[in-house]
Amino acid sequence: NGTLAANVLDFMLERHPDIYSELRYTVLDVSKGLCERQESLVGLHNRNHESHFQSLVGNACDGKSWEGLLEGGERVYVLGLEVLDNLPHDRIEKVDGKWMETWVSYESESHPNGVEELREMRDDVILSCFDAYDWTAINSEKDEEQKKDGGFLATLETFITRSRRR
């Protein structure tokens, strides 16, 4: 509903106004109504954010939806919310350079409540999202600051400010 966008923009405005001045937060969503609601909420929350926020109606599985968002030499950070997290898998992660799905297996008698298992990524919906963009450019290394559990905004801050220095 726009809450995350408003919180991220608030955080960047307060902590990194230099980055905020160049920041553009874009939401890509299949629902026109939800896009309109997010624009309204972000604008009502802080009028300054209106020039830093846009929502586009599109499907993350369709490469055409990404056109224009990933061009121009700007740094782009993709937060795959409401896409990959709504799939039947708990999460995906990159292990030794290969993307894996996390499954919960109940086949072990020693773990009657289930145990997480990494499996080769085969889900057609996840694969179509990956086909829409070259995710191989994502750096899987974690520095010491990112390893600390500082919450979502602290992790995002570390990632953005670290990569900006490069």
Q: How far apart are CA 41 and CA 121, in angstroms?
A: 36
> Does the predicted model carry a pTM greater than 0.75?
no
Summarised one tens digit per residue, pLDDT across range 101-127 is 888 777 777 877 778 888 888 877 777
- Sort residue 97 into left (φ over 0), alpha (ψ -120 to 50) or beta: left
Q: What DSSP character marks residue 148?
A: S
Tokens representing 44 are: 């009502």
Confidence band for 21, pLDDT divided at 50, 70 and 90:
very high
Average pLDDT over residues 125-141: 62
| pLDDT tier at 159, thresholds 50, 70, 90 | low
- Which pLDDT belongs to residue 128? 77
Q: What is the 3-state secondary structure (H, E, C) of 28-89?
A: EECCHHHHHHHHHHHHHHCHHHHHHEEEEECCCCCHHHHCCCCCCCCCCCCCCCCCHHHCCC
Flag whether pLDDT at 77 surpasses 80.
Answer: no
**Which residue, chain included where needed, has tokens 């298992």?**
117
Give Cβ neighbours of residue 62 (< 8 Å, ≥ 6 apart).
132
Q: How confident is the model at residue 41 (pLDDT cuts 50, 70, 90)?
A: very high
Q: Cα separation of 79 and 82, whole Å?
A: 9
Tokens representing residue 124 in the block: 């057609």
Q: Which two tokens stand for residue 43?
A: 């604008």
CA distance 41 to 22: 21
Instruction: Tell me 112's DSSP state.
Output: T
